[in-house]
Amino acid sequence: MGSAIIAGAGPGGAVLGFLLARRGVDVTLLERQTDFAREFRGEVLLPNGLEPLREMGLWESYEEVPQVELRAAELFVRGRRRARISFDPATMGDIAPRWVSQPHFLEWLVSEAAKHPSFRLDRGVTVRDLLRDDGRIVGLRCVGHEGERDYTADVVVGADGRSSVVRRRANLAVHEDPTPMDIVWFKLPRPGFFEEDLHARIYVGDGHLLILAPVPGDLMQVAWIIPKGGFGRVRERGMDACIEEMARHVSEDLAVHLRETGASAMESFLLSTVSDRVEDWTRPGMLVIGDAAHTMSPVGGQGLNHAIRDAVVAANRLVPVLAGEASVDAARIDAATQAVPRERRGEIARIQRLQAIPPRILFSQRDAASVLMTMGAFFLNRGWTPPVVGSIAREFFFGTTPVRLEV
């Protein structure tokens, strides 16, 4: 029986740990933090990320995780509602998008993995370096509460996020796509207009973009997209001035709610957006997945979902060479890890190209963005979706290539 070390207990690492452990592979999952009680930028699960949970046999258990099933998305242009897209079975199949509490989601995933005796989670462990033997990566040098410690295994997986130590220490070449935006991210009490209608809202116009949705805990998540580097000006003006600026560009019901509750904005902070991908996801004995392999822009809520899809493909390839009684062969492991990016690179590159389009239009062609949104809404309200819009939406919701659990 083979063994694996996974750095990072985010969605990709936790899903992969579960999938390997349930097939008897010895898995050690390392997490830098001692718990998951912190803010995450990616908390939207789309059908392309939800379907694997059902294939894993976890759907009934997953339903207990705090979440909000979004029933529709409404588009507002210059403060006026222009279109409503319902997330009904005709458009979404039987799985609608859900805003999940990622701290609870991750605790649930590792608790499911811990039901298998070959799984181990070590919290409060920070990766410092890679361990090498004759050019092969054979483990991780880490530091935790008890000091420095070395972990060794047949394969090392870096799922340690956009600031991945595994990626950096392996000297993986990174291709970066400049993004023209950052996000001011905060929560407010949930307004009354969400109580009977759990939908997302998108406000666009005059160079502004604001997205909000009901989230677990009777709260509303707000994402205010601003030009890259603009946070200094936002901070200088203060939160009250920012709330007023947002209120001038949204519908009246939201404007009233922002002005009434803006002072209670919770955990307001800047999300610096990044879009990049490594040219090669592997080294002998090592693989990176999720944000460590490709940091996604927040456009379309793709990062969480593609981390899960990476984990499924990685499990499909690694389980056959790590599980079982036969001795583990290094060449087979390397062939398995190299197969993962061959399957995943095309979809990731395509999604990142699509993610880059809206911000460029929004911040460089302000009037054009409003006109295009108004025209699109006109057609949507008459039951006709422009083919290019429908195609992009399907790729965001369902992925560009099939990903199915095989093990």
Round the CA-based radius of gyration of the chain to a whole number and report it: 22
Contact between residue 11 and residue 241 where contact means Cβ atoms under 8 Å apart: no
By CB neighbour count within 10 A (0-12 exposed, 13-18 middle, 19+ buried), where does 135 fall?
Answer: exposed
HSE-CB at 376 with a 13 A cutoff on CA atoms is 19
Task: Supply the pLDDT for residue 206.
Answer: 75
Which residues share a beta bridge with 300?
A: none
Separation CA 154–CA 175 (nearest Å): 28
- If you search the block for the tokens 């822009």, which residue do you land on? 297
Separation CA 285–CA 334 (nearest Å): 6
Task: Supply the pLDDT for residue 374.
Answer: 62
- The H or E element containing residue 57 is none
Average pLDDT of 343-363?
88
Q: For a pLDDT cut of 70, what percent of the chain falls above it?
A: 90
Task: Supply the pLDDT for residue 368.
Answer: 55
Instruction: Count how many residues are written for the chain.
Output: 407
Task: Supply the pLDDT for residue 363.
Answer: 67
Helix axes 47-55, 303-322, angle to 10 degrees: 30
Tell me which residue of 109, 154, 119 sits closest to 22, measured CA to CA.
119
Mean pLDDT for the chain overall: 89
Q: What is the four-CA torsion angle of 287, 291, 293, 295, rounded to 10 degrees? A: 180
Q: Are strands 286-288 and 282-283 parallel, antiparallel or unpaired?
A: antiparallel
Please enumerate in sequence order all residues whose Cβ is within 8 A of that of 104, keeping only pairs 6 or more positions apart, or say none.
36, 65, 66, 216
Please enumerate in sequence order all residues whose Cβ is within 8 A of that of 59, keeping only pairs 6 or more positions apart, or say none.
53
Separation CA 337–CA 312 (nearest Å): 13
Task: Supply the pLDDT for residue 90.
Answer: 74
Structure tokens at 130: 């890679």
pLDDT band at 373 (very low <50, low <70, confident <90, very high): low
User: Alpha carbon 14 to chain centroid distance?
Assistant: 13
Tell me which residue of 148, 110, 122 sits closest to 7, measured CA to CA.
122
Comparing 26-30, 275-279, 355-359, the range with the smallest average pLDDT is: 355-359
Task: Supply the pLDDT for residue 362.
Answer: 72
Task: Supply the pLDDT for residue 41.
Answer: 65
Task: Supply the pLDDT for residue 280.
Answer: 94
- The H or E element containing residue 370 is helix 366-381
Residue 365: helix, strand or coil by DSSP? Answer: coil
Contact between residue 125 and residue 33 where contact means Cβ atoms under 8 Å apart: no
Backbone phi and psi for residue 95, each to the nearest 5 degrees, phi listed first = -125, 110
Task: Supply the pLDDT for residue 303.
Answer: 93
Task: Supply the pLDDT for residue 262.
Answer: 82
| Whether pLDDT at 42 is above 90 | no
Q: For a pLDDT cut of 90, what percent of the chain falls above it?
A: 64
Average pLDDT of 278-288?
97
Comparing 58-62, 185-189, 344-348, the range with the smallest average pLDDT is: 185-189
Average pLDDT of 271-290?
93
The pTM of this model reads 0.92
Backbone phi and psi for residue 376, each to the nearest 5 degrees, phi listed first = -60, -40
pLDDT in tens, 155-175: 999 999 999 999 999 999 999
Q: Are strands 155-158 and 3-7 parallel, antiparallel or unpaired?
A: parallel
pLDDT in tens, 105-163: 999 999 999 999 999 999 999 999 999 999 999 999 999 988 999 999 999 999 999 99
Task: Supply the pLDDT for residue 143.
Answer: 97
Task: Supply the pLDDT for residue 371.
Answer: 56
Separation CA 277–CA 298 (nearest Å): 14
Separation CA 221–CA 271 (nearest Å): 13
Separation CA 72–CA 90 (nearest Å): 13
User: Alpha carbon 6 to chain centroid distance?
Assistant: 18
Tell me which residue of 156, 140, 111 sits closest to 18, measured CA to CA.
111
Backbone phi and psi for residue 53, each to the nearest 5 degrees, phi listed first = -65, -40
Separation CA 348–CA 340 (nearest Å): 12
pLDDT in tens, 58-104: 999 999 999 999 999 998 988 888 888 888 887 777 889 999 999 99
| Whether pLDDT at 12 is above 80 | yes
